[in-house]
Amino acid sequence: MLQVAAEPQLNQIFSELFNRATDHELYLRSPARYGLQVDTPLTWQAVAEAARSSGETAIGLLPAGDHVPGVTGSGAAMELAPPAGREVVLHPGDSIVVLAAGF
């Protein structure tokens, strides 16, 4: 992992998160999986709490791209660790990046 090479102090954190015994992996999930409405303003905290209620940890957002100014197709940038109070508007095709055990 390039992140660990740049910041060695993160090695222990990543080791705990991705330990084979815990079987946690990163997934892209639809907002509908958590009962979240699209085209409605929410805080990132509300998104994270919805994922947590399903036993998953939301760590970021991957926009579909077609609603991001200047971006066409799936070229939008993933945003990791948004501030809890940040307002987000989820759109059709957006994905929530989560850490979860199993698919």
Q: What would the mean pLDDT of 52-77 be, rounded to a whole number? A: 75
| pTM score, whole prediction | 0.73
Sign of CA dihedral 68, 73, 79, 83: positive
Model confidence at 55, in pLDDT bands (50, 70, 90)?
Answer: very high
Q: What would the mean pLDDT of 19-27 be, rounded to a whole number? A: 73
Residue 56 has φ and ψ, to the nearest 5°, of -120, 160
State the DSSP code for 96: E
Mean pLDDT for the chain overall? 82
| Two structure tokens written together for 39 | 């085209």
Report how far residue 86's alpha carbon sits from residue 13's, in angstroms, rounded to the nearest whole number: 25
Nearest Cα to Cα of residue 94 among 84, 85, 71, 57: 71
Report the amino acid identity of residue 63: P
